[in-house]
Amino acid sequence: MISRKHFLFGLIFASLFGGLIALGGFHLVYTPEEGIKSFDQVQPVKFTSNFDTASIAVPDGLNFVHAAEVTMPSVVHIRSTFNGSGHTASRNPLDEMFRDYFGDRFREREGQQRRGRSTGSGVIISGNGYIVTNNHVIDNADDIEVLLNDNRTYAAKIVGTDPTTDLALLKIEESNLPYLTFGDSDDLRIGEWVLAVGNPFEFRSTVTAGIVSQKARNINILRDRSGLQIEAFIQTDAAVNPGNSGGALVDLKGRLVGINTAIATHTGSFEGYSFAVPASLVNKIMDDLLEFGVVQRALLGVNITDVNAQLAEDQGLEILTGIFIMRVNEGSAAFDAGIQEGDVITKVGDVDVKNVAELQEQIARRRPGDKVEITYVRDGDLKSVLTTLKNTQGNTEIVEARNSVVIEGATFEEISAEEQEALGIDGGAKLSDVGNGKWSDAGIDEGFIVTSIDKQVIRNVQDLRNALLNKSGGTLIEGIYPNGDEAFYGIGW
């Protein structure tokens, strides 16, 4: 009989022997892990599925990589500063209406002087340094600095501006720059992918994506004394914020299809929709500014409104889309072509137009003297007529560039270098048309050249405008007449 002592000893021995066997078996199938030298050693997770992800990768032409790589080197950062000697940097009407969504403009008081700064974006459109941006980014700027994508910095000069489309052409002195080619914004389709590239919130070279939400959109953002503003925006849902203004809207081939200009917002930041001037219009405006220094604006010479269901019912129209003519200006292109009040325009050339924005864009893309066929409906009949477009002066001549400003009914212009030399003055603003108002009431005659206001030197019409901005009380106006007679006047504001 086995004693209890021997039984316990055997049980312990069996347990130890079994453990040794298990441990030996584990070492036969296990290789000790070496020390970790990189997280790559512990993170190469592989799935057992043989699913080939390459078959669902977004192919070239449908992703955004190529367009972004092409566009970013050609989009610049623009910094405009407003210095002056005691004058106040003025704000564009866009700034007042929209709290300057795109300029990120701010003011800082230094003693009794006020300085301003505006930042935005621009797009290089030629290798020799021409840049397109929004007019409200550089409006009234004393100095304009352009920062390239590769961090090179240049001083820029203004070649020309067009407030009616909120566009401006700048020039920097450089060659062999990367630039974007113009695409055909007419070919854009609703739902098509586009990229917005700019410098929002000072974040350089930012790319966002969206689709074309609508075309020829009028949002009533532009204001111009002439009433000739053009709004036929491309609407997208690409994110655009303060600083994007003047930046590029491109298609997936990296072609420029628009200049980002505005957003619909209640807060000043992006809330879902942005708006760009279409490239086909941009191209024409830039060509005009390059060749003439001023936009050659073609006009049909009519007062118009969109056709809608209510208007169609009131006027007995048989169509629900088109542009209804409320009035034809005497002596205008439309008047000469026999177009009448009550006609409904449906086509310009071979392009169908359904609303005022589309019609205005098509006409604005032409120059005075251009002939274009206008198709319209009169009394239910479809008609067409060839019209010769006219300029703002009512003729077909080329309009010469002239930097002028109208203040209180008086028109001021720049003076020539020859006149400055003859009179021994350094700049000034010449009164070319007195008109009715404070200037004529003060007894100032045409030809008077303003050289200072309240002892502040006036070198050009922009200085004049800035000096008189928000003026109040009595103002001392000093200057000289073309015959050399110096004079001074007091004007109350």
Is 38 one of the catalytic residues? Answer: no
Q: What are phi and psi of 39, to 5 degrees?
A: -70, -20
Between strands 486-492 and 130-133, the pairing is unpaired
The burial of 93, by beta-carbon neighbours within 10 Å (0-12 exposed, 13-18 middle, 19 or more buried), is given as middle
Catalytic residue check, 40: no
Burial letters for 394-404: b for 16+ Cβ neighbours within 10 Å, e otherwise? eeeeebeeeee
Task: Return the CA Rg of the chain.
Answer: 34
pLDDT for res 6: 60
Burial class (CB in 10 A: 0-12, 13-18, 19+), 328: buried
Determine the Cα–Cα distance for residues 254 and 260; give it in Å rounded to an integer: 15
Neighbours of 197 (CB within 10 A): 28
pLDDT for 396 equals: 92
pLDDT at 48: 43
CB environment 427-448: b (16+ within 10 A), e (fewer)? bbbbbbebeeebbbeeebebeb
Q: Which of 398, 402, 458, 465 is nearest to 160 (CA)?
A: 402
- Both structure tokens of 372: 């274009």
pLDDT of residue 335: 96
Q: For the CA atoms of 367, 369, 371, 376, what is the dihedral angle to 10 degrees? A: 80
Burial (0-12, 13-18, 19+ Cβ within 10 Å), 120: buried
- The encoded tokens of residue 373 equal 């066929």
What span, in angstroms and rounded, lies between the C-alpha atoms of 72 and 201? 17
Pick the catalytic residue: 118, 185, 213, 245? Answer: 245
Q: Position 418: which residue type?
A: E
The parts of the chain modelled with pLDDT lower than 70 are 1-62, 83-115, 224-226, 266, 268-269, 401-403, 469-470
Active-site residue among 74, 77, 104, 136? 136
What pLDDT, on the 0 to 100 scale, is given for residue 384? 97
pTM passes above 0.75: no
Closest CA to 170 of 206, 198, 137: 137
- Among residues 469, 429, 451, which one has the least CA distance to residue 116? 469
Catalytic option among 104, 139, 166, 463: 166
pLDDT of residue 106: 35
User: Has 432 been annotated as catalytic?
Assistant: no
Label residues 293-316 b or e (16+ Cβ within 10 Å = b): bbbbbbbbbbebebbeeeebeeee
In order of 80, 91, 234, 256, the CA distances from 261 in angstroms are 17, 16, 10, 14
Q: What is the DSSP letter of 294?
A: S
